[in-house]
Chains A and B, each alone.
Chain A
């Protein structure tokens, strides 16, 4: 940790820069500030899981007073694209059209109406007469690649833009594999082998603000879109592609965002609302209702995971074989990369002697998967960490001991890092920073592992308690692919404007970027006005995904800030008439060799108005050459009622190594939010369907998201490490926490009642079936 330094701003819990305005209700989200005469856009959703549109009659709808435009597939250019807001060229297949003459799931888009108000728009939707030819639907991914299965993407345009496995004729949306050693040999050498099939279920992000976008035509005829997005620059590129406009003609503005968790890495509404604005020449607002958010936007891809793993009596992990079948629903958004991350973010965690990973993603006629916090790792940690527990049990070793002996350490690597990338091979790396051992130690102590483990093993009580744990890693950014950049200028009072493409969607990234810049320059975060993001004003950034903002965008900010500091010193050295090397910076001032002080305000005023005039300004870009994993150890204590099947989480402890926590309180908040989302996912949240593929529970009363009354005792520990490739030693923190609850709770349930769960979620029904009481 030789690079570790004394930090004045970084590492301190500064309040969020936008916090007070948010708490006072003065900040503006997309729908909070509508231009006069804004039209309301509503979408007609497919009631069928799979059908061809034979005819679509919009005459009556168009004739309704107050209706300004109706769009169907006939009105728009037919441009195959992906809704996944990924870097270009995207690894997701081009299999989507803004509107099409075929629908592929209940909730697919059929037509859209722009009207003077919502009630007229709703009336108009009811007047659109659509005749469908119903097609057989696939509602189970195991049926997708059967001979004779209906072909969901039979259109000739569906294709991939990079060389990756894709075969729509067999409903294959993606595939990947990676291996080293010889798994069969490893299994043969093992003293104990576990072989099981697991499955994880479909669930949703449920940001409190559903997807919403506003579009208008500016005075010079350009299309402006203000949208709730994690990826403003990808929105600009993809809208320009879909609407066949030059990038120059499109401006995308991201205001305050009401949460995303991956769902807003998807370009879902912007093309349609943009097309409406172009057609009507009026401002148009498209805002999903909660029900529409559930049925039509994106979900966590469900997976079926087959695992074989072996261990020797001494705890040597001989082999891990992982075979995944992933369901992407009707479109292949993130179909390849969520799948590959199921391997790349889990397999390097332990020193398996032999590994084989194979994955297949298939189309079905169900709602579409997408990016969701955890991004494939969440799914795969359930089997990995359940099996680790079972292997430990099999050789009579404490599960903590087995993990402690085998987890990756500082200086070590894994062939998986190089083998699995995002649509191409990955990047080899050795782990530079890892405090996982300390995370395990502190977490075990906090939960009372040794006192609580195994207490109910021989109990026949109806209500039993247990503790379980798991270890985790994630990544920090997509190396050698994703670009971030930042721009800073200095004002005459010594304040700064920090302009970012990086997208604060509620995480507090604007604040930590100001902390990074302030630390580097030698001033306070309060000296910054941070603005993110506007494709006209702020420099390019891929956006908020892949656990990249702190690690990647933060380093771009640090580089720009270093240039600003240099610039300030140059101006001050001229003002003092001393060499630059003799000027230092501290506390928003420059200090000369004889102790003379120039405030930042004096320096900036001099530069703007007096001599050698120049705007003190700088921009910088950054790409990462590796993706350093954050690590975590999670511990759950549960209570299981064997009569009702109810599982209650009593205490949940997480210990996380995110390198330097730039803002500890905000970092804790990221972990706590992820943890509760993970608990809610493990226990209650799920998509329920009827036999025709219609979601039965698209509302908060029947899709149970944990509320304030459900919260267990959540304890959060941050364990520092120092990652020299990140800003001031930082790695990522926002995603990793969601991966732990499912395996930690499953392992705790085993400790309480002695059954292994292999299917999520852990509803009372699942528990009673596992206990053979149903």
Chain B
């Protein structure tokens, strides 16, 4: 079947299987930042924004995304023009192997979009669906806090929407 949706601001059209998961569709389209860590919605490595809401793309049927807006880290920034959240993750040392990072960053984006000044327990709770085995999460929490500060002080210029 045919699927038309908006991926990182660009309209995309593709053929999908009826039972295809959004993760497969995105990766088939070459958007490979969402990763398959478990395939059952338990690790968050595949997390993306679907119409602004954080979802695990490995358990989201692609067919339900017709006309939707899907955002991945590729849509936030590029190494030559990164998003502040992406920069703060690197600065804090929150990126080790990087496999969970795209999902973590999307979870952070979802959090900061709804709560620009989260405390530690709100950060912990917002990222609780995303597993990381490398960092012990310490530097990730720090990165999220730093990104929040930076985005709230530089609204409009340094901080991309």
Question: Which chain A residues have a beta carbon within 8 Å of chain B's beta carbons?
Answer: 13, 15-16, 18-29, 31-33, 205-210, 256-259, 261, 287, 289-290, 505-508, 665-666, 668-669, 672-677, 699-701, 705, 707-709, 711, 714, 716
> For window 127-157 of chain B, which residues contact chain A by CB distance below 8 Å?
127-141
Contact of B40 among A19, A256, A700 (CB under 8 A): A700
- Tell me if B32 and A28 are in contact (CB < 8 A): yes
- Tell me if B124 and A209 are in contact (CB < 8 A): no
Bound CA span A705–B128, Å: 11
- Tell me if B79 and A506 are in contact (CB < 8 A): no
Contacts of B33 in A (CB 8 A): 24-26
- Tell me if B86 and A677 are in contact (CB < 8 A): no
Question: With contacts A23-B102, A669-B93, A711-B124 known, what are 15 further pairs, Cβ within 8 A?
Answer: A20-B86, A24-B76, A25-B32, A28-B32, A32-B32, A209-B37, A258-B37, A258-B98, A259-B133, A506-B134, A672-B137, A673-B134, A699-B40, A700-B131, A709-B124
- Tell me if B97 and A258 are in contact (CB < 8 A): yes
Contacts of B127 in A (CB 8 A): 707-709
Bound CA span A242–B71, Å: 44
Contacts of A290 in B (CB 8 A): 37-40, 43
- Tell me if B78 and A24 are in contact (CB < 8 A): yes
- Tell me if A29 and B93 are in contact (CB < 8 A): no
In the A-B complex, the 10 residue pairs with the smallest Cβ-Cβ separation, listed nearest first, are A506-B97, A25-B33, A22-B98, A258-B99, A672-B136, A676-B136, A709-B128, A19-B90, A700-B42, A708-B127
Q: A16-B95, A508-B96, A708-B128 are in contact. Are A24 and B32 (CB under 8 A)?
A: no
Contacts of B159 in A (CB 8 A): none
Q: A24-B77, A257-B97, A700-B131 are in contact. Are A714 and B90 (CB under 8 A)?
A: no
Contacts of A33 in B (CB 8 A): 32
- Tell me if B97 and A505 are in contact (CB < 8 A): yes
A-B contact pairs, 19 of them (CB 8 A): A23-B73, A23-B89, A23-B101, A24-B86, A25-B102, A26-B33, A29-B32, A31-B32, A261-B133, A287-B36, A290-B39, A665-B92, A665-B93, A700-B38, A707-B127, A707-B131, A708-B128, A709-B124, A711-B138
Contacts of A20 in B (CB 8 A): 79, 82, 86-87, 90
Bound CA span A259–B45, Å: 13
- Tell me if B134 and A259 are in contact (CB < 8 A): yes
- Tell me if B82 and A258 are in contact (CB < 8 A): no
In angstroms, how far is the closest chain B Cβ from the Cβ of A378?
15
In angstroms, how far is the closest chain B Cβ from the Cβ of A164?
32
Counting chain B CB atoms within 10 Å of each CB, which of A21, A24, A707, A709 scores highest? A24
Bound CA span A750–B91, Å: 40
The number of chain B residues touching the other chain, given as a range, is 35 or more
- Tell me if A668 and B35 are in contact (CB < 8 A): no
- B25 CB–A CB distance under 8 Å: no
In angstroms, how far is the closest chain B Cβ from the Cβ of A288?
10
In the complex formed, the residue of B with least CB distance to A19 is B90
Bound CA span A207–B45, Å: 11
In the complex formed, the residue of B with least CB distance to A665 is B93
- Tell me if B95 and A22 are in contact (CB < 8 A): yes
- Tell me if A26 and B136 are in contact (CB < 8 A): no
- B57 CB–A CB distance under 8 Å: no
B3-27 CB mask vs A (1 if < 8 Å, else 0) is 0000000000000000000000001
Bound CA span A24–B98, Å: 10
In angstroms, how far is the closest chain A Cβ from the Cβ of B6?
18
Contact of B38 among A669, A699, A707 (CB under 8 A): A699
Bound CA span A20–B79, Å: 6
Contacts of A256 in B (CB 8 A): 97-98
Bound CA span A506–B133, Å: 11
Bound CA span A159–B89, Å: 49
Contact of A16 among B37, B82, B93 (CB under 8 A): B93
Contact of B74 among A25, A261, A507, A666 (CB under 8 A): A25
- Tell me if A673 and B96 are in contact (CB < 8 A): yes
Contacts of A22 in B (CB 8 A): 90, 95, 98, 101
B55-75 CB mask vs A (1 if < 8 Å, else 0) is 000000000000000001110
In angstroms, how far is the closest chain A Cβ from the Cβ of B17?
8
Contacts of A287 in B (CB 8 A): 36
- Tell me if A23 and B105 are in contact (CB < 8 A): yes
- Tell me if A672 and B138 are in contact (CB < 8 A): yes
In angstroms, how far is the closest chain A Cβ from the Cβ of B42?
4
- B125 CB–A CB distance under 8 Å: yes
- Tell me if B133 and A206 are in contact (CB < 8 A): yes
- Tell me if A672 and B139 are in contact (CB < 8 A): yes
- Tell me if A23 and B78 are in contact (CB < 8 A): no
- Tell me if B43 and A208 are in contact (CB < 8 A): yes
Contact of A27 among B98, B129, B139 (CB under 8 A): B98
Bound CA span A28–B86, Å: 17
Contacts of B91 in A (CB 8 A): 15
- Tell me if A665 and B139 are in contact (CB < 8 A): yes
Bound CA span A665–B90, Å: 11
Contact of A259 among B74, B99, B123 (CB under 8 A): B99
Contacts of B93 in A (CB 8 A): 13, 15-16, 665-666, 668-669
Contacts of B101 in A (CB 8 A): 22-23
In the complex formed, the residue of A with least CB distance to B79 is A20
- B49 CB–A CB distance under 8 Å: no
> For window 88-130 of chain B, which residues contact chain A by CB distance below 8 Å?
89-93, 95-102, 105, 123-125, 127-130
Bound CA span A711–B134, Å: 13
Counting chain B CB atoms within 10 Å of each CB, which of A21, A25, A209 scores highest? A25
Contact of A18 among B31, B98, B141 (CB under 8 A): B98
Contact of A708 among B97, B102, B124 (CB under 8 A): B124
In the complex formed, the residue of B with least CB distance to A26 is B79
Contacts of B98 in A (CB 8 A): 18-19, 22-23, 27, 256, 258, 506
- Tell me if B136 and A207 are in contact (CB < 8 A): no
Bound CA span A18–B93, Å: 11
In angstroms, how far is the closest chain B Cβ from the Cβ of A576?
38
Q: A25-B33, A701-B42 are in contact. Are A708 and B137 (CB under 8 A)?
A: yes
